[in-house]
């Protein structure tokens, strides 16, 4: 067992420069976070508190204004094969079939040329999309599209999975089913996961630990561990902790 | 269902022609040499086919159209790609590009004739100038409209700038590029006609001009209708190409 | 949508550690620099290097001189008046006819089925091919020009308006019915406002097409109008004058498109927030 965390975030701050208004916006301030190998960390927080921003920094899509991020002990400067991302809007290439979309996860890594077909078939089977290899994304339901996105992220066998509200855009029923599926798939692969969600239920059900964000400025408010015994108590505690922030955010929305 | 609609349109066009025929030949609402009925137009058409004037002039127009249009695609698509993907290019080349786009380029036709003579060159050039802008602009819009989330996904899975361009942006822009090419076809048709109206001595446009100057309006209208048919066939072909090349693209209204 | 300061358009994201504020005057200044460089190069090529024969290709100074003469002699004003009258009549009538046709085509199913394919096929065809026939029918002068402008305005406006009217959200129409709107009220309060941005889009599309109609009419079969200046000046090797006349057209087109762009952005504002 590795003793060092697989993801280490230190003093992370990100400021956006909003080109349209010319203003600067502090999206994230002073975030410290460690994620252990094999851990399922859920991230909970009100809208606009900077969850996506933090995730994009870990993914290497965004350069932090200040602070450092280590993944597997190495500083993150760009996206890498050790980290895969599942997007809320799936981000599947509409001109590729499911199988070709999944292949996209391998394509840019020459070392995985060999046995690509097997890997792809395996990933598709794992997410339960067998039989839809030749379908185009628009021919699939939202839940199935997200399965394809998941297969794409798993196919190159990354150590870390970053998921940004992966179930945010599917309907409630599919969501329940997919939650259980996700749990099964992640357990089967033993990956380290950072999982953003808006749903307290989801956070409690899936996570080993929960990082709770607060906004203005976006930072981590608390980190709680989930044990089989404390799930129900946690729900209430989290709800209380988020309520004021959520109300404030909703008010902000109304303005 | 689609077939039914197509038949309905054919029937409608047939009905319009029948009414027209009836109004002129039957009810004598207008002088048939002044407003020729469809039957006279058809006779004029077959006459021009038989005496070889139509094939000869059509061949001239076709050669120019193909040359000008291919040139427009070869130049327009790369220009659109560059304008759409580089801020620097769009800042520096954008203003003259937009000015050239906004101005009525056919105004240059008399000058083009002065510079290049009465041959094919000014015709090809005006066809090119008419067609190149819609192609370039749609290509540019296509590149700019690429869903940023797809680009992010590509980067996550290890694509560099060039790969993002080849594997994501180009494909995402393809339907719009083809839309631009379709609009380019329509504009190129205008170019053909203008090029032959002004300083022309051959071609379908010239023939229309000549025949109506001789008050052979049946021939002029026959040729005009022929242009309508050609334009629609060409547009349909490009749409078909788009359906084949970009089957994932659910066609909107355009 | 959520309450974030969600940008309507994809923003260029730069975390601000490295970012500098993009300079507000960057774009217009580059455009101005473009213009200066362009005119300077043109001048050098024609006057200093004599790359082309100045009779065939005037220098910027020649063009400016010709323009000044055209203006001071009152020639330009006269021709411009003729052009403007033809264009305004044709464009105005064409726009009105286009809106009415478009609204009907977009909202009546049978009209949609009958007219839409015809409109599309007319949009695809070079209507200016009618010019010689129109001249035969209406004689030389403003008649054929106004008709050409009319046709080349009406088609795009009708097409765009029909598209907008046909896409009116059915739930909005249902809502209006629920609140007691009759047929007429549905038109005036729902379909028309819904179609307004599309109408403006059509009007904008019609600027270049109507200009083409106007120019072809004036260049091919008319003794007056700015287009006729181009033809006559070129025939007499007065290329400076031809350039000046083209310049007038360029400015007019650019200004018109800009105005309609602005109007489109105003009227279409609500569309972007969906
Ligand atoms: N590209 C950008 N340009 C400018 N500001 C941005 C940009 N992206 C995000 N922001 C701002 O940064 C803050 C954090 O955004 P972020 O997307 O990280 O929030 P989030 O927690 O993921 O929200 P949500 O739960 O709604 O997805 C928000 O206030 C947002 O408006
Ligand atoms: Mg987010």
C269 touching B, CB under 8 A?
no
The pick from A53, A56, A250 for probing ligand 1's pocket by mutation, whose C-beta has the most ligand atoms within 8 angstroms, reads A53
The C-alpha atoms of residue B93 and residue A251 are separated, in whole angstroms, by 45
pLDDT band at C24 (very low <50, low <70, confident <90, very high): low
Assign residue C182 a region: left if phi > 0, alpha if psi is -120 to 50, beta otherwise?
beta
Nearest to C56 by CA among C236, C249, C248: C236
CA of C27 to the centre of ligand 1 (A): 28
**Can you tell me whether residue A88 is helix, strand or coil?**
coil
Q: What angle do CA C115, C120, C123 make, to 5 degrees?
A: 125
pLDDT of residue C53: 83
Between residues B104 and A20, which one has the greater pLDDT?
B104
B194 vs C216: CB contact, 8 Å cut-off?
Answer: yes
CA of A9 to the centre of ligand 1 (A): 19
Closest ligand to the CA of A164: 2
Q: What is the pLDDT of residues C162-172, one digit of tens each?
A: 988 888 877 78
- Find which of C83, C125, C204 to mutate to test the B interface (most B CBs within 10 Å of its CB): C125
The C-alpha atoms of residue A137 and residue A46 are separated, in whole angstroms, by 30
User: Average of pLDDT values for C87-105?
Assistant: 94
pLDDT of residue B125: 95
Which residue has its alpha carbon closest to ligand 1 atom 11? A27
Phi first, then psi: what are they for A40, rounded to 5°? -110, 105
In a domain, B37, yes or no: no
The C-alpha atoms of residue C70 and residue B244 are separated, in whole angstroms, by 54
Q: Which domains does chain A have, with CATH numbers?
A: 5-82+160-254 (3.40.50.300), 94-157 (no CATH)
Residue A20 clears pLDDT 60, i.e. is over it: yes
pLDDT band at A254 (very low <50, low <70, confident <90, very high): very low
pLDDT of residue B153: 93
The C-alpha atoms of residue C230 and residue C70 are separated, in whole angstroms, by 12
Q: Which two tokens stand for residue A56?
A: 């994009």
**Burial of B11 from C-beta contacts in 10 A (0-12 / 13-18 / 19+):** exposed
* Cα Rg, chain B, nearest whole Å: 22
Q: Which chains touch A (3 or more CB pairs under 8 A)?
A: B, C
In a domain, B4, yes or no: no
pTM of the model: 0.82
pLDDT of residue B225: 92
Nearest to C216 by CA among C95, C127, C156, C154: C127
Q: What is the pLDDT of residues C146-201, one digit of tens each?
A: 999 999 999 999 999 998 888 887 778 777 777 767 778 788 778 888 888 889 88
The C-alpha atoms of residue C137 and residue C96 are separated, in whole angstroms, by 24
pLDDT of residue B196: 92
C31 touching B, CB under 8 A?
yes
Q: Which long-range contacts (CB under 8 A, 24 or more apart) does B234-241 make?
A: B234/B185, B234/B189, B234/C124, B235/B182, B235/B185, B235/B186, B235/C124, B238/B178, B238/B181, B238/B182, B238/B185, B239/B182, B241/B178
Nearest to C217 by CA among C208, C227, C204: C227
Strand A160-164 relative to strand A40-44, pairing: unpaired
Q: Residues near C28 by Cβ (< 8 Å), separated by ≥ 6?
A: none
The C-alpha atoms of residue B142 and residue C173 are separated, in whole angstroms, by 33
Nearest to B110 by CA among C66, C79, C228, C64: C228
- CATH number of the domain within which B182 lies: 1.10.3720.10
CA of C123 to the centre of ligand 1 (A): 44
In a domain, B35, yes or no: no
In a domain, B36, yes or no: no
CB atoms within 10 A of CB C9: 9
| B24 close to B30: Cβ distance less than 8 angstroms | yes
- Counting residues of chain A whose pLDDT is more than 70, the rounded percentage is 95
Q: Which two tokens stand for residue B87?
A: 């801020």
User: Average of pLDDT values for C57-85?
Assistant: 92
List all residues whose CB is within 6 A of at least one atom of ligand 1: A 16, 18, 25, 27, 45, 47-53, 218; C 2, 4-5, 11, 13
The total number of structural domains in chain B stands at 1
Residue A46 clears pLDDT 90, i.e. is over it: no
Strand A66-71 relative to strand A7-18, pairing: antiparallel
Q: Which domains does chain C have, with CATH numbers?
A: 58-269 (1.10.3720.10)
Strand A192-197 relative to strand A40-44, pairing: parallel
pLDDT of residue A3: 64
Interchain CB contacts (distance < 8 Å): A and C:
48
CA distance to B207, B222, C27, C66, C132, per residue, from C136 (Å): 15, 15, 49, 34, 6
Weakest-pLDDT range from A9-13, A72-76, C134-138:
C134-138
Residue C21 clears pLDDT 60, i.e. is over it: no
Alpha helix locations (H) across C73-141?
Answer: 75-107, 109-124, 131-138
Domain region containing B110: 51-250
- Counting residues of chain A whose pLDDT is more than 90, the rounded percentage is 48
pLDDT of residue C257: 85
The C-alpha atoms of residue C57 and residue C237 are separated, in whole angstroms, by 9
In a domain, B12, yes or no: no
Residue A174 clears pLDDT 80, i.e. is over it: yes
pLDDT tens per residue across all 254 residues of chain B: 456 677 777 888 899 999 999 988 888 888 888 889 999 999 999 999 999 899 999 999 999 999 999 999 999 999 999 999 888 888 888 888 888 887 788 999 999 999 998 889 999 999 999 999 999 999 998 999 898 999 999 999 989 889 999 999 999 999 899 989 999 999 999 999 999 999 888 999 999 999 988 888 999 999 999 999 999 899 889 989 888 888 877 654 33
pLDDT of residue C191: 82
- Find which of C8, C46, C124 to mutate to test the B interface (most B CBs within 10 Å of its CB): C124
The C-alpha atoms of residue B148 and residue B152 are separated, in whole angstroms, by 6
In a domain, B11, yes or no: no
Q: What is the ipTM of this complex?
A: 0.85
- Mean of the per-residue pLDDT values for chain A? 88
Assign residue A64 a region: left if phi > 0, alpha if psi is -120 to 50, beta otherwise?
beta
Between residues C96 and C22, which one has the greater pLDDT?
C96
Q: Which chains touch C (3 or more CB pairs under 8 A)?
A: A, B
The pick from A17, A27, A166 for probing ligand 1's pocket by mutation, whose C-beta has the most ligand atoms within 8 angstroms, reads A27
**Can you tell me whether residue A192 is helix, strand or coil?**
strand
Shortest distance between the Cα of B105 and any Cα of chain A, in A, equals 34
Which residue has its alpha carbon closest to ligand 1 atom 16? A50
Q: Which residues pair with A41 in a beta bridge?
A: A194, A209
| A50 close to A27: Cβ distance less than 8 angstroms | yes
pLDDT band at C271 (very low <50, low <70, confident <90, very high): low
In a domain, B117, yes or no: yes
Would you tell me which residues 62-101 of chain B have a C-beta closer than 8 angstroms to some C-beta of chain A? Answer: none
**Burial of C4 from C-beta contacts in 10 A (0-12 / 13-18 / 19+):** middle
Between residues C266 and C116, which one has the greater pLDDT?
C116
- Counting residues of chain C whose pLDDT is more than 70, the rounded percentage is 88
The C-alpha atoms of residue A87 and residue A223 are separated, in whole angstroms, by 24
Least CA distance to C166: which residue of chain B?
Answer: B253
The minimum-distance atom of ligand 1 relative to the CA of C2 is 26
Strand A74-75 relative to strand A83-86, pairing: unpaired
In a domain, B245, yes or no: yes
pLDDT band at A252 (very low <50, low <70, confident <90, very high): low
Question: Which helix or strand (DSSP H or E) is residue C177 part of?
Answer: helix C170-178
pLDDT of residue A249: 66
Q: What is the pLDDT of residues A200-227, one digit of tens each?
A: 889 998 999 999 998 888 899 989 998 8
User: What sign for the dihedral angle of Cα C267, C269, C272, C274?
Assistant: negative
Nearest to C5 by CA among A198, A43, A23: A23
């Amino acid at each position: 067992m590795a003793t060092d965390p697989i993801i280490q975030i230190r003093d992370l701050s990100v400021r956006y420069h909003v080109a349209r208004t010319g203003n600067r916006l502090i999206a994230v301030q002073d975030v410290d976070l460690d994620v252990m190998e094999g851990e399922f960390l859920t991230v909970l927080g009100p809208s606009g508190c900077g969850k996506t921003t933090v995730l994009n920094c870990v993914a290497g899509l965004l350069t932090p204004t200040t602070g450092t991020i280590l993944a597997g002990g190495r500083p993150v400067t760009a996206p890498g094969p050790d980290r895969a991302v599942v997007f809320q809007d799936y981000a599947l290439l509409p001109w590729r079939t499911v199988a070709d979309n999944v292949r996209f996860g391998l394509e840019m890594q020459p070392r995985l040329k060999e046995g690509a077909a097997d890997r792809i078939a395996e990933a598709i089977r794992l997410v339960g999309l067998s039989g839809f290899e030749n379908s185009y994304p628009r021919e699939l339901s939202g839940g199935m599209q997200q399965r394809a996105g998941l297969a794409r992220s798993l196919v190159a066998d990354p150590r870390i999975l970053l998921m940004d509200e992966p179930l945010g855009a599917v309907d409630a029923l599919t969501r329940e089913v997919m939650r259980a599926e996700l749990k099964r798939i992640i357990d089967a692969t033993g990956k380290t996961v950072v999982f953003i969600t808006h749903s307290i239920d989801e956070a409690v059900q899936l996570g080993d630990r929960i990082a709770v964000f607060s906004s203005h400025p976006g930072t981590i408010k608390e980190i709680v561990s989930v044990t089989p015994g404390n799930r129900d108590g946690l729900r209430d505690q989290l709800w209380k902790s988020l309520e004021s922030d959520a109300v404030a955010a909703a008010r902000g929305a109304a303005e | 269902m689609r077939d039914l609609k197509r038949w309905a349109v054919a029937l409608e066009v047939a009905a319009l022609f029948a009414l027209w025929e009836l109004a002129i030949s039957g009810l004598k609402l207008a002088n048939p040499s002044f407003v020729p009925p469809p039957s006279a137009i058809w006779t004029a058409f077959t006459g021009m086919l038989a005496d070889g004037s139509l094939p000869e002039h059509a061949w001239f127009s076709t050669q120019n159209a193909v040359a000008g249009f291919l040139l427009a695609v070869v130049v327009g698509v790369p220009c659109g790609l560059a304008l759409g993907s580089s801020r620097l290019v769009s800042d520096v080349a954008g203003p003259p590009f937009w000015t050239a786009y906004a101005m009525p380029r056919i105004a240059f036709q008399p000058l083009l004739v002065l510079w290049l003579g009465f041959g094919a060159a000014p015709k090809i050039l005006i066809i090119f100038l008419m067609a190149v802008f819609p192609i370039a602009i749609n290509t540019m819009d296509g590149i700019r409209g690429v869903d940023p989330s797809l680009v992010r996904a590509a980067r996550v899975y290890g694509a560099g700038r060039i790969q993002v361009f080849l594997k994501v942006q180009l494909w995402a822009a393809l339907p719009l590029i083809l839309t631009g090419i379709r609009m380019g076809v329509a504009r190129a048709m205008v170019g053909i006609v203008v090029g032959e109206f002004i300083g022309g001595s051959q071609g379908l446009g010239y023939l229309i001009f000549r025949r109506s100057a001789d008050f052979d309006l049946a021939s002029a209208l026959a040729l005009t209708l022929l242009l309508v048919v050609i334009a629609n066939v060409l547009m349909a072909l490009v749409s078909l190409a788009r359906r084949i090349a970009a089957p994932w693209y659910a066609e909107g209204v355009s | 949508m959520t309450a974030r300061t969600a940008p309507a358009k994809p923003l260029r994201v730069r975390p601000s550690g490295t970012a500098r504020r993009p300079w507000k005057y960057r774009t217009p200044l580059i455009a101005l620099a473009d213009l200066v460089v362009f005119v300077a190069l043109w001048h050098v090529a024609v006057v200093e290097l004599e790359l082309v024969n100045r009779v065939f290709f005037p220098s910027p100074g020649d063009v400016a001189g010709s323009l000044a003469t055209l203006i001071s002699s009152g020639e330009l004003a006269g021709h411009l008046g003729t052009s403007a009258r033809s264009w305004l009549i044709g464009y105005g009538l064409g726009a009105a006819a286009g809106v009415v046709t478009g609204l009907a085509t977009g909202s009546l199913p049978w009209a949609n089925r009958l007219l839409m394919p015809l409109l599309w096929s007319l949009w695809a065809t070079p209507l200016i091919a009618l010019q010689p026939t129109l001249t035969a029918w209406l004689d030389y002068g403003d008649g054929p020009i106004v008709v050409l402008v009319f046709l080349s305005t009406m088609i795009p406006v009708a097409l765009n308006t029909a598209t907008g009217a046909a896409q009116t959200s059915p739930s909005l129409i249902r809502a209006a019915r629920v609140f007691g709107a009759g047929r007429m009220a549905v038109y005036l309060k729902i379909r028309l406002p819904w179609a307004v941005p599309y109408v403006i889009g059509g009007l904008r599309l019609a600027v270049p097409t109507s200009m083409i109609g106007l120019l072809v009419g004036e260049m091919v079969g008319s003794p007056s109008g700015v287009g006729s200046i181009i033809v006559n000046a070129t025939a007499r090797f007065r290329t400076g004058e031809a350039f000046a006349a083209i310049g007038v057209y360029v400015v007019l087109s650019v200004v018109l498109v800009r105005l309609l762009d602005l109007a489109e952005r105003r009227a279409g504002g609500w569309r972007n927030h969906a």
